[in-house]
Structure 1
Amino acid sequence: MSGSLSHSGGCQCGAVRYRIAGTLGYPHLCHCRMCQKAGGNFFMALAGCRMERFEITRGDPRWFSSSDPCRRGFCDRCGTPLFFKTVDSPYVSVTIGSLDKPEATMPVSQDGVEARISYFDRLFSLPEKATDRSDMPDGNNRIARSNHQHPDHDTAAWPLAKD
């Protein structure tokens, strides 16, 4: 469980924001094939709460039914996967990576391991390096100066008004 009194998060562009009152339950990595496809990645990291503690504070996410009992919420502007909801369940899960403070929510389990990518356990032995965009003029600096990503905290409006 993540012990914070509240959590906030949202999509990459800032069009959809949410808040959770209280703790997040059962943070986990789901390796099922539907989560791989929904996240476009090896797994989806999720943590949940009861619906009455969850609120959308900005925007209106779109929903896709990945199966009859399961829906996935995302931002229709930037495509960020945000939510997982089983129909008729009192719980909703958020993607841990969409939290403003994802570091505060440590997964406790790996689920759907029957579909886990066969080389997943070897990824952590790969060489590591910092981001290097020397393939373009002014590389990392150019990206930092032109960043359109929403910051990791709530804002009154987004994008911010230009002077």
Structure 2
Amino acid sequence: MAKRDYYNDPTAPKANSLVPAVAAVVRDEVGRVLMIRRMDNDLYALPGGTQDIGETVVQAVVRETQEETGLIIEVTGLVGIYSDPRHVIAYDDGEVRQEFAICFRARPLAGEPRTSSESKEVLWVDPAQLGALNIHPSVRIRIDHGLEDRPKPFYW
């Protein structure tokens, strides 16, 4: 399903949907960040996706990360809750989703990086190299917050 991200864009369509989503800032033992390059928009992103009925948000982020990257993770903390109404995603079926994402910190436990039907590339990125990647601004905010040593989770 085709989609278009709008962030802080006055021409964006009005949201008509709100769906819980999760993402993970997964860091390895040397501090690199796990990133995927998405199939649907060719942008680099954190692994994650929507929560299914019958699962917790932690179960959702573990499942989504494994599906998209092949890695099993352990959630170690909460980065923040992102619900900015200025960020909407318009789908070709008429759904216009307001952002609602819960982002976690995590570490890898097992598995080998591999691509999936949702990820054309899976890679570990040194934080100093993130600027070279094409990352949506809303995702970059989550990454930056995940790399900071914040005493409390972000919420907006």
State the TM-score, normalized to the length of structure 2: 0.28
Structure with larger Rg: 1
Q: TM-score scaled by structure 1? A: 0.27
